[in-house]
């Protein structure tokens, strides 16, 4: 039979348990019986190893006996006869080529005098063992790594399946070993912490798989990379200089000299009629560069006052320069 890991296998093992002279077997009573066992294996898709041998252990009271049968063509056959009538416990273990028990099942059967007792056992995947070893080497931090948390998840879980908190470093690594992992794929995350409990590093999720009855070793170290930093200064434009103002009627002609930095996109001319006023956009006028002059309309109601002018430069991003020197003119 071609064992394909991606298929769901059902291995029917027909065992006619018979034979004579096995050690540790209870004495056969007159009219003893026999047993026929069918074992079905609930296989795990993508499991890397297939069962090659089935080991049966039959026990009753203080007596027990074992029988091994190779898997051949999807079935194994054997016979043990003259079993004492009574209640037997039957353990079936499927072993792979490496000698690991990868599937197991148990059932009870009552052997009756002068009869054959049928028994069906479903073998399910044996849980695996996991060792996760974490190295903090290479983590750039001014604060030393004090402890580590490891959280293990599986798809569909709303919270961590296993959480290992405040692991301390031993021999340069943070290590956890555990048993009872059902065969499947898992994700895990590592958090490295300082002595005060603050998080120094939180890893991305990484995955590992547990196979039936197998030991899985996971070695994790942080992924390291480089950052290339390019710094660019966005300089603000300088302030306009040489501001001059001439008033003719209700018109004020304002001119200035552009700053030499070449960063100017526009200018804004501000004016106020009193030192008790502040400069606001309601009394301002925008001028697009490269122009360096503006004609401002003044309020006729403010005649007789001293009008103050300033000019600011702005770049294309909206950054504004400091104000120019203030120029005051009489408005007659």
What confidence tens digit (pLDDT) does each residue in 192-203 have?
A: 999 999 999 999
Whether the Cβ atoms of residue 327 and residue 242 lie closer than 8 Å to each other: no
Whether the Cβ atoms of residue 99 and residue 154 lie closer than 8 Å to each other: no
What fold, for 13-125? Answer: Immunoglobulin-like (2.60.40)
- What secondary structure letter does DSSP report for 301? G
The per-residue pLDDT for 157 is 82
The per-residue pLDDT for 237 is 96
The per-residue pLDDT for 190 is 97
Confidence of residue 88 (pLDDT cuts 50, 70, 90): very high
The pTM is what?
Answer: 0.62
CATH of domain 128-220: 2.60.40.10
Whether the Cβ atoms of residue 172 and residue 198 lie closer than 8 Å to each other: no
Task: Output 25 or 146, whichever has higher pLDDT.
Answer: 146
Read off the pLDDT of residues 1-25 as tens digits, 9 standing for 90 and up.
333 332 223 333 333 333 222 333 4
Instruction: Please name which of 298, 294, 306 lies closest in space to residue 240, comparing C-alpha atoms.
Output: 294
Whether the Cβ atoms of residue 273 and residue 302 lie closer than 8 Å to each other: yes
Q: How far apart are CA 172 and CA 46, in angstroms?
A: 35
**CATH 2.60.40.10 boundaries in the chain:** 128-220, 241-330
What fold, for 241-330? Answer: Immunoglobulin-like (2.60.40)
The per-residue pLDDT for 179 is 97
Q: How far apart are CA 330 and CA 332, in angstroms?
A: 6
The per-residue pLDDT for 20 is 28
Is residue 36 predicted with pLDDT exceeding 70?
A: no
Is residue 34 predicted with pLDDT exceeding 90?
A: no
Is residue 93 predicted with pLDDT exceeding 90?
A: yes
């Amino acid at each position: 039979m071609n064992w394909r890991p991606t298929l769901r296998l059902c291995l029917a093992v027909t065992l006619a348990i018979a034979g004579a002279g096995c050690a540790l077997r209870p004495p056969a009573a007159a009219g003893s019986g026999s047993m026929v066992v069918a074992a079905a294996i609930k296989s795990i898709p993508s499991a890397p190893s297939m069962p090659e041998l089935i080991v049966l252990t039959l026990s009753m009271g203080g007596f027990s006996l074992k029988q091994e049968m190779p898997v051949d063509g999807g079935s194994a056959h054997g016979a043990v006869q003259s079993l004492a009538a009574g209640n037997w416990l039957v353990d079936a273990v499927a072993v792979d080529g490496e000698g690991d028990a990868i599937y197991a099942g148990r059932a009870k059967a009552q052997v009756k005098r002068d009869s054959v007792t049928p028994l069906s056992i479903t073998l399910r995947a044996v849980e695996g063992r996991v060792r996760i070893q974490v190295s903090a080497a290479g983590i750039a931090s001014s604060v030393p790594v004090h402890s580590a948390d490891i959280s293990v998840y599986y798809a569909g879980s709303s919270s961590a399946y296993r959480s290992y908190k405040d692991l301390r470093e031993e021999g340069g690594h943070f290590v956890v070993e555990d048993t009872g992992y059902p065969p499947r794929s898992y994700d895990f995350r590592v958090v490295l912490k300082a002595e005060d409990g603050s998080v120094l590093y939180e890893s991305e999720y990484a995955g590992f798989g547990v196979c039936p009855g197998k030991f899985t070793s996971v070695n994790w170290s942080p992924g390291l990379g480089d950052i290339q930093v390019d710094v660019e200064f966005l300089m603000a434009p300088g302030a306009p200089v040489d501001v001059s103002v001439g008033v003719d009627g209700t018109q004020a002609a304002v001119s200035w000299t552009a700053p030499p930095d070449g960063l100017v996109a526009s200018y804004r001319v501000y004016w106020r009629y009193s030192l008790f006023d502040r400069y606001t956009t309601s009394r301002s006028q925008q001028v697009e560069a490269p122009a360096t002059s503006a004609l401002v309309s003044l309020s006729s109601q403010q005649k007789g006052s001293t009008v103050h002018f300033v000019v600011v430069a702005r770049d294309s991003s909206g950054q504004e320069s400091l104000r120019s020197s203030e120029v005051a003119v009489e408005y007659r």
